[in-house]
Every structure is written in structure tokens, then in C-alpha cells.
Structure 1
């Protein structure tokens, strides 16, 4: 049974999370969210608060007097362009924008950790709490790492979590090596020549090329989760010509998302796709252009970092699931784990919780204490 102070703390964090949920902001526009975070951090007495990091990012630094490991914990600030269907009191006040990935909850977990660090100052080492912008579009991690204000931060370890529906609340989901895949989006544009719809032979219509490219690229998919060549290829958008019935089309646009377990595999697929589009465009006398956008690096979980996560879960008697295969969604924390030793783990958010990115999703506040305690226990283990 929880004592009164624990209940009060949970209520405090829940109220903060609901305020964030009410006023969501899209990637690269998280100004008010960042300000709300800064105001909370000021109450926690870090030695430094860095703002406007990689955009609207915020970093709080806590430091002990003795030397020790530098450990970074990361959460995300941004929301999604999804209209909320929920009708509770803390529903989104911004039409067409809502927290449907739980970033409001992840941010709240880091605030909870900051509040613990205020009450239990570090004796040694350095903790960085990073509130990262622009995770959803894949730009945030790279922008933070490229920012001059981040250059002096040299983590020995980096950690992050993500809530995961369809797992019991509070379950800790771990995996060595790849935790999430390498992901990219491909935009293909094809340009031919218009003609009268009655005389298509006098123009160059991209319709057949569009069909051939879809079939050829989709054939590269491998849906066997246990395969080293596992690949998900999804057609997300396509358009051809215009609604002018006297004109044979001259323009087509096609978008895919491609995801696979490793960066090397993704690079190989990118070369194959490039060749496919080039050859089919040449066959149909079309000009073409490829744009690779919204790229997410694979989360490369370090064995030592995963061991800290396992020990933290075990010491708290949290349920642990060792996942045999990576999750299929992209996460730009991979940009950090490709550069620093670290790991991401999953935090079960309930078997009845709507799926991530669904319009009726809402972060379950009951799991906030699990996330806070996991991060704080990792710190205690690190500096034991």
C-alpha cells in the first residue's frame, strides 16, 4: 500500500501529464511544451538547464561532487497530427493535434526523475535529462547531436523507454541488439508528357511505370520476423495526373516506408530501389527523382546497458519480458545508440490500451511510477 507522500507525488505528475496532453505541439513547434518542462525543472535545482537544444529541446544536468559515469536519459516533446476522439476533461485543445504516442507520459517520467534527484542529490557522476524535440519526423536526435550546446555533453551511457500497448501495465520489455528497426521513407516522382486523352500515344503517361514500380519494390518485402532479411515495405501515398478527363497524365508521385533490422540492410535496399526506379523510368521514357526522407536509425541496444535495465527491473520485482525480435516501429533514439553505449526498453501500458497513433489512445498514468523507478534504479546501480 502506498503512503500519502507517494500518492501525492503520483497525483502531481498525473496533473502535469494531463496539462501537456491538453496543449500538444507538432514536431519542431514544441515551444510551450518546452517552457512547461523548464518551469518544472527549475523547481528541481539542476546545476544547468540548456534550452533551445536542436530546436526546442531542453537538457537538465545534475552533478555529484565525485567523478563517475555520465548517463543521459531521454524523453520526447512532440505530438502527432491526429484528431483526438477522446472526450475526457484533459482532451487536446488543439484541433488536429494530439499526444497519440505517449510522449506526454515519457516527458512526465523524466520530470518525476528530476524531482527524485532534487530530494536525493547525486554523490558522484553526472545525469543529463534530455527532453528531445521532433522525434516523430526523425529530425530531433540529429538536430540535438549537431547543436553546439550539446558538444560538451559526452554520455557514457544513454537510456530511453517507450510505452507499449498490448503488454500488462508495468511490464519491462527488453531485447539485446536491435530494439527497433532502421526506417526510411521514399518519395518517387515521375515526369512524362501530357497529351489529349483521346491520343495517349502522343504523350508519355507514367501509369504503367507506377504500377511496375509498386510491384517491383513491394516484392522486396520479407514478412518473416525471424529472418535476418525481415523487411516491411508499405505504400503510404500515390497520385497520378489530375481530374481533367481530356488530359492523359504526365505526372505521378509514389511514397513508401521501408523498415528492416539493420542499417546495412537498409542501405542495400535503398540501392536496389534506386536501380528499380531508374530502369523502369528509362524503359518508359520518364524523368524520375528519388527523395529519401524521415529516416530513423536502428536502436542498437548495448549488452551492458541492457544488463543495467534487467537488474533494475529485477531489483524492483517488475515483470520482465525478453522479446525475441525487434519492434517494427521506428524511433530516432537509435541515432543516440548508434553513437553511444545505451539501450531502449519497453514499458507495458496495458492489454486494453488502444494502439499507438490511434485517435483514442491516451497514456496510462498508472505506469508513470514504473518508468520513474526504472530510471532511478539504473542510476543507483550505475553509481553503486
Structure 2
């Protein structure tokens, strides 16, 4: 068992690692230096290290005893295309990029767990540490899987953790079933016939058609989806024309939809297509629809029952029963750990990052990971490994 002294000794190292990664953010599939830093640390700790899955992914293994059982722990490494507005000494040195979601902290916590487990391997089996690239909209988890992640490292379960502002420091939140929503985006190109604004009868107005499409799309959730199922359809961009006195030939609509059931995900996609085709037919224009044209869609992040029960037990051991929210509201944000949960049973848990004052919100230019929670996250990872791989848990 890892004691509090071990964690406190490591805390300063983890803080330094985390702030170094924060200062040098790298975005999807460009995490070259981050991956190098992670791999070097893991080798220092004595782990076997594999690189290259998912282009810049790092996977390390640590075995103890004679059990064939294997579990995986995952952290994400990538940053976002956001210009940092913090002023502390370790703020981003890369223009237009920052760790605005805490992946720097996730990486540091998993490194810390690897170090302590290597020093005191109080478990029987193999732990696979997955440091994943490209979580932010580029499906690095799916890429690692397609590159053979679970063929090369055939684990039984997979576990993930993400910080969450406005959950108190030292607390966790977790539930079985949907934890994070699916994610899909769409682009609709409405194609009409351009004409002078004073002579609209000679053209086919793509702008008017786009406006009606936008309004009609808002009826999908309210009039198509079962009220017991949560879903959202949001229009985020409309682009059309560049002159005051000309009706343009084309209007472009972009947006996203999210939900907690794959069946609802399918219904929304079909309904978008039906609405667009109906409006365009009625107004004499045409349309092209593309789903996920630049980034892959994400499935629902769905926690399995047995693995969530283990995560709950471990979280309570770390934070106490009062420090674990067992009924959090699922988040409409998305998470590509969902691809791993499609392949293996597992659990995705939230760890409290503390109050979000001063705009310390995820994907905000003022965000910063709370270094106070580094040892708490490590304690969770270590207790999880020791619980699952000491024959205490039978699946």
C-alpha cells in the first residue's frame, strides 16, 4: 500500500512535470515533445515503453507477480487551439495553444501512479498505462485502437479520469451508464441561384432557405426525441454572401448534436437530412449535407456496471462516502475515451478541480489545472490497481 508520505514526496515532482507540459502545449497528433517527455520518465521508472500507436501515443507496461490479468489506465496528452490569458510563470510558450482542459494534469497524475507502482508493486498482474494523443476532436483513442492497441495490449478493463471544475477538491463523481454525450457535427451547403437583391424573383434564395432550415432543426429535440431522452442540436455557424445588394448563390450552415443514446444519435442524423431535403424542395434550392466532415464523431461514453462499482469503492476509500457523488448529471460534452469503452468494459470518473472562479472553466483561456489534486488522483489510480489486481475483485 502506498502511504501519504510517498504521495507527498512525489507531489513536487508531479507539479513540476505538469507545469512543464502546460508551458509546452502540443495539439492533436503533434505531441512529439510531450510523448518524448512521458516516455523518458516511464523508462526512468523501469517500465517497458512502446511508442507510435496513434502516431504520438505512448503505452507502458508494468507487471508484478504471476497473474495473467491485465488492466489499462488512460490519460490524454493533447492541448487546445486557444490563446492563453493567464499570466503565471508557466503559461503557454506556444502562440495560440494551451492546456485548457487539464490534460497536462491527467498526464502528470498517471506518471505519478506509474512511478509509485513501480517502486512498490503491491499487485498481481499487469498494468497498461495509455498516454493518448488527440482527444480534442481528433479521435486519438480510435486511432490507437485501429493501430492495434488492444491486440498488442489485450487488457480486460480500461479506466479513465478527467478533472471537473466546480466539483470540490478531494471529491469524485461517477455513475454507471452514460457519463459523457455522443458528439457529431454537420455542414449543410444550401445552393440556390444568385440574383440582384432588387429582383429576388429571378433567383432561388439560399439565405431564406437556410433561415428556415435553422428554425426547423430546432424542432428535432422538442418534437422528435422522447422527452425522457436528453439531446441537443445547436447551430454554431452561418455563412452567406458578401454584398449588400446581391442574393448569394450559397449559404453554409454548421452545427453539432449530442445525446446519450446511440439510437437517438441515429434519429437526429436522419431527421436533419429529412428537414433539409424538405425545405430545399419546397423553396426550389438544393443542398449538400456532410456529417463529421473534418473530425470524426464520438460515441456515448458509457460506464459498465461492474467496473463502475469498483471505481465507486475505490473513490470512497480515497475521498470518503461524503466525497463521492454517485448521481452526477451526465455531461453533454464528449470524450473519445468512449471508443475504448466500446471495446472494453470500464469506467470514466470525474475528479474535482475545485471552484471555477476567475473563469477557471474547461476550454476557457483562463483555465488552469489545480495542482492540489495531483496526489488525490494518484491515490485513486493506485488503489484501483491494488483493488483489481490483488484478487479482491472478481469480474
Q: Normalization by structure 2: what TM-score?
A: 0.91
Q: Look up the match of 2:393.
A: none
SS at match of 1:145: helix
1:119 matched to 2:135? The reply is no
Q: CA deviation at 1:67?
A: 2.0
Alpha carbons 1:195, 1:202 under 8 Å: kept: yes
In the aligned structure 2, how far is the partner of 1:8 from the partner of 1:134? 31
In the aligned structure 1, how far is the partner of 2:352 from the partner of 2:335? 17
Alignment of 1:204-353 (within 5 A): 204-221=204-221, 227-241=227-241, 243-293=242-292, 294=295, 295-318=297-320, 319-353=323-357
Q: Look up the match of 1:41.
A: 42
Higher share of residues assigned helix: 2
In the aligned structure 2, how far is the partner of 1:123 from the partner of 1:357? 37
In the aligned structure 1, how far is the partner of 2:217 from the partner of 2:20? 44
Moved over 6 A (4+): none
Alpha carbons 1:222, 1:229 under 8 Å: kept: no
- CA distance 1:335–1:3, shift in 2 (3 Å): closer
Greater mean deviation of Cα atoms: 126-135 or 229-238: 229-238
In the aligned structure 2, how far is the partner of 1:87 from the partner of 1:79? 18
SS at match of 1:198: coil
Contiguous gaps of at least 5 residues in structure 1: none
Q: Look up the match of 2:79.
A: 79
| Matched positions, count | 379
1:143 matched to 2:143? The reply is yes
Q: Normalization by structure 1: what TM-score?
A: 0.94
Equivalent residue for 2:368, pick from 348, 356, 362: 362
In the aligned structure 2, how far is the partner of 1:111 from the partner of 1:123? 17
What CA RMSD, in Å, does the superposition of the two structures yield over aligned residues?
A: 1.9
1:17 matched to 2:18? The reply is yes
Q: CA deviation at 1:122?
A: 6.0
* 1:351-380 residue CA offsets vs partner (Å, 9 max, x unmatched): 245211111010001011111111111111
Alpha carbons 2:109, 2:378 under 8 Å: kept: yes
